């Protein structure tokens, strides 16, 4: 790879490529399009190679859909995307970030998140679509005070 992917706000025309990437990564698609205006994407040579987004609930957000194309895994792109979306959440005045993960708990811990019991998540966050997707029911809940 000649240069690092750059991270930008998602555009409407990015959604089809992101949908393919999320499917490739076996991540749920439910609700992604509804919150697409709060996503960031990573591009390399004009191609979408990563994405991550937030859903806002009061002063909290749910992180979702962190996906990195296979050739870019292990390059630090996932951490860069997470740092960028956390920065965006902070800039928006949000105070807490929550997420569900089955595979990224180690990376999220390195970013300052900690695993918490599901029942301690605020009701409005637990009411989000992400918390009701059946395959997310056994995921680890993580939290970061912004």
User: Residue 22 sits in a domain of what CATH number?
Assistant: 3.40.630.30
Domain extent, residue 93, equals 6-145
Indicate whether 16 belongs to any domain.
yes
pLDDT the model gives residue 5: 96
Q: Determine contact, residues 24/50, Cβ cutoff 8 Å.
A: no
Q: Does the pTM exceed 0.75?
A: yes
How are beta strands 96-101 and 60-68 bridged, if at all? parallel
Domain count for the chain: 1
Indicate whether 1 belongs to any domain.
no
Which phi and psi (to 5°) does residue 130 adopt? Answer: -55, -40
Indicate whether 90 belongs to any domain.
yes
Q: pLDDT per residue over 72-123, tens digit each? A: 999 999 999 999 999 999 999 999 999 998 877 888 888 899 999 999 999 9
Distance (Å, rounded) from C-alpha 93 to C-alpha 91? 5
């Amino acid at each position: 790879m000649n240069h690092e992917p750059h991270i930008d706000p998602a555009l409407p025309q990015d959604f089809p490529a992101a949908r393919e990437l999320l499917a490739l990564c076996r991540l749920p698609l439910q609700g992604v399009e509804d919150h697409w205006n709060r996503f960031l994407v990573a591009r390399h040579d004009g191609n979408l190679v990563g994405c991550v987004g937030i859903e806002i609930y009061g002063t909290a957000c749910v992180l979702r859909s962190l996906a990195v194309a296979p050739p870019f895994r292990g390059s630090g792109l996932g951490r860069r995307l997470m740092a960028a979306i956390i920065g965006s959440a902070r800039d928006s005045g949000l105070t807490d970030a929550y997420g569900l993960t089955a595979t990224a708990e180690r990376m999220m811990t390195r970013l300052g998140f900690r695993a918490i019991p599901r029942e301690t998540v605020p009701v409005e966050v637990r009411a989000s679509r992400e918390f009701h997707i059946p395959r997310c029911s056994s995921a680890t809940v993580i939290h970061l005070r912004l």
